[in-house]
Structure formats: C-alpha cells, structure tokens
C-alpha cells in the first residue's frame, strides 16, 4: 500500500514537471516578441531599437547617439551582455598612437648603430657614452655629450657597402616575386573552383523541374514577410535640394510608392532651401510558432529537400570534380 502511494506521488511529480515543460514551451511558441525602432535625423542621427519579451522582462536595446553605438541585453534588472562599441574604437586608436616598446628599441638600435671598420669603430670610452639611461642625464652631461664629435664615415667604407646593399635588395625582390606568384596561383585556383560551382548551381536552379520548389520558397518568403512586417510605421521626411529640379525628382519618386505607403511615409518637400530632416517610428511583433510553422512546412516539402541535397552534397562534389 505504501509502495503504491509512493508511485502515485512520483507520478504526480512527473506530471507536474511535464505540465510545466509544456507550459514553458507554449509560452515560448505563442508569446509574441515585440520590436520597436525610433529615431530622428537633425544634422545628426539618433536611433534606438529594442526587442522585448514577456512584459519587458527580457529585452535587448541598441542605441546610437552622438555617433556612439551601444548594445545591452537584460533579464529583469540583470545585464547579460553589454558592449560599448565606442570604447573599443577609442582603445584601438590610442594603441595606434604609440608603437610597441620593442619597435622603439629596434629603431633606437638602428639609429645608433655604426658599421664596424678600422676607421669607423667606436672606442671603449665612446661606448660608455652610449650606455645608460638617457632619462637620467644631467644638463652638464648632455652639454658635454653634444660637444663630442660623432664617428666619421670614410668614403671607402661607403663604396664597400654598395654591393652588399645591392645583393640584399635583389634578394628581397626575388622573395617578393615568388610570394606574389604563389599567391596568384592560389587565387586563380580558388576563382576556377568558385566559377565551376556557380555554373553548377545556376544550371540546377534554372532547371524546369525546380518549378514546384520555387513556388514553395516564394510562398514561404511571402508568409515570413507578411508576419514580420511592422503593424505600425510612421516616417516623416523634410527634404530640399540645392536645385529645385532635384527636389521635384524626389517628389516624383515618392509618388511611385505613395499608393502603398500613403499612411506610413510622409514627405514635406522644400523648394527654397537645402534641408534634410527626418523622424521615424516602427513597431511590430513576431510569434515563434508562426515562424516555425512556415519554415517546417517549407522543409517538409520534397522539392525543397531535393534542392537542399543538391546544394549540400552533389553541388560540392560537382564543384570539385568538373
């Protein structure tokens, strides 16, 4: 009897866990994800985009103001992710202002080094003058150092260096040439391979048997766009060009889309001055179950699966071997 009661309790616990999992799954599938984009342009762009979920308990916010982008993701009041892109740019710019210490040491060594020779060698006393930390030099030591004559270079030594410099230059040119030839050969091989694959895919996509698959793809894309498109959009534009004729052409272009967006996009044309100002508001929502249904329906279509197989297997094989 006690054993049956234990089994009964375990069964209720498992059913409760299963019900909780199903409830969470239903919430994820049917609770809409809201998105909102707002901003304006008055000599400078300001924009804010946010995605919210479950009464704003989960939210992702992206802002762009004073030419500084900022991204943050939060659950309740906890920050899961934060990225201030402007800080990264400032750190990179600061690092580029100053070379590494090793590069400075190499530059200093190159500037202070002299060729060895009977007449160009530096004596022991002169070597001592080059050693030490220059930051610790006193004014008297600096003045004494500046009065000393630097080592002289002979004309004979200069002409002896010319063949060595010429050989090094030729060697570097040959090395660069071989590297360039190898790089060009690799690039040519990649271009040839990509060209073969494009030709294969073009042939597959334009085959007459692809008609049913393309119909399903078009139907899926149309359904996705219809579901994701914003339910509210309000864009106000105040535009004027230097030449009134350019403004008139902009108005003519706007007239082409006016029948489709007459309540969403408004253009205020200015023919007397050059100006561009705008403000916008876009709101919409996405339901996961609808996206899953559309994508799963397309994937279960046998014609679409054939295209996927051709692109992932036979396509790669033909691209390599043809």
State the virtual CA torsion across 153, 159, 161, 165 in degrees, nearest 10: 130
Is residue 283 predicted with pLDDT exceeding 60? yes
pLDDT digits (tens, 9 = 90+) for 68-96: 999 999 998 888 898 887 655 555 555 55
Of 89, 113, 137, the one marking the end of a domain is 113
Spatial contact of 78 and 87, defined as CB atoms under 8 Å apart: no
Residue 169 falls within a domain, yes or no?
no
Of 80, 113, 146, the one marking the end of a domain is 113
- For 189, half-sphere exposure in the C-beta direction (CA atoms, 13 angstrom radius) is 7
**E-state strands within 55-94:** 58-65, 68-75, 78-84
Q: Into how many domains does the chain fold?
A: 2
Three-state SS at 237: strand
If asked whether residues 109 and 211 sit together in one domain, one would say: no
User: What pLDDT sits at residue 207?
Assistant: 78
Residue 254 falls within a domain, yes or no?
yes
Is the pLDDT higher at 47 or at 207? 47
Distance CA 298, CA 224 (A): 11
Residue 97 falls within a domain, yes or no?
yes
Residue 93 falls within a domain, yes or no?
yes
Q: What is the mean pLDDT of the chain?
A: 80
Share of the chain above pLDDT 90, in %: 36
Spatial contact of 276 and 45, defined as CB atoms under 8 Å apart: no
Spatial contact of 232 and 285, defined as CB atoms under 8 Å apart: no
What's the rounded mean pLDDT across residues 99-118? Answer: 50
Q: 320: domain range?
A: 207-322
Residue 269 falls within a domain, yes or no?
yes
Of 90, 113, 136, the one marking the end of a domain is 113
What's the rounded mean pLDDT across residues 57-62? Answer: 93
The β-bridge partners of 9 are none
User: What pLDDT sits at residue 108?
Assistant: 53
pLDDT grade, residue 153 (50/70/90)? low
Residue 197 falls within a domain, yes or no?
no
pLDDT digits (tens, 9 = 90+) for 159-203: 677 788 888 888 889 888 888 988 898 999 899 888 888 887 788
Residue 303 falls within a domain, yes or no?
yes
Distance CA 322, CA 272 (A): 63
User: What pLDDT sits at residue 312?
Assistant: 72
Residue 307 falls within a domain, yes or no?
yes
Distance CA 37, CA 43 (A): 19
Share of the chain above pLDDT 70, in %: 77
């Amino acid at each position: 009897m006690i054993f049956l009661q234990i089994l009964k309790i375990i069964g209720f616990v498992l059913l409760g866990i299963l019900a909780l999992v199903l409830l969470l799954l239903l919430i994820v599938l049917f609770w809409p994800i809201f998105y909102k984009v707002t901003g304006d342009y008055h000599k400078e762009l300001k924009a804010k985009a946010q995605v919210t979920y479950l009464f704003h308990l989960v939210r992702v916010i992206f802002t762009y103001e004073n030419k500084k982008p900022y991204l943050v993701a939060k659950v309740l009041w906890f920050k899961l992710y934060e990225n201030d892109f402007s800080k990264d740019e400032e750190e990179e710019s600061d690092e580029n202002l100053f070379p590494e210490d090793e590069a400075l040491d190499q530059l200093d060594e190159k500037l202070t080094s002299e060729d060895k020779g009977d007449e160009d060698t530096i004596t022991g006393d002169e070597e001592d003058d080059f050693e030490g930390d220059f930051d610790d030099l006193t004014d008297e030591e600096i003045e004494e150092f500046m009065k000393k004559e630097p080592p002289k270079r002979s004309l004979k030594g200069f002409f002896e260096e010319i063949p060595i410099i010429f050989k090094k230059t030729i060697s570097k040119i040959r090395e660069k040439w071989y590297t360039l030839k190898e790089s060009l050969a690799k690039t040519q091989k990649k271009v040839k391979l990509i060209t073969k694959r494009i030709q294969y895919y073009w042939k597959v996509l334009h085959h007459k048997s692809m008609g049913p698959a393309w119909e399903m793809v078009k139907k899926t894309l149309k359904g996705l766009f219809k579901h994701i498109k914003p339910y509210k959009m309000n864009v106000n534009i105040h535009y004027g060009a230097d030449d009134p004729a350019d403004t008139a052409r902009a108005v003519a272009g706007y007239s082409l889309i006016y029948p489709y967006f007459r309540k969403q996009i408004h253009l205020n044309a200015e023919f007397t001055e050059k100006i561009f100002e705008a403000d916008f508001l876009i709101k919409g929502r996405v339901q996961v179950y609808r996206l899953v249904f559309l994508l799963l329906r397309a994937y279960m279509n046998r014609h679409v699966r054939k295209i996927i197989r051709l692109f992932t297997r036979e396509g790669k094989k033909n691209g390599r071997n043809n």
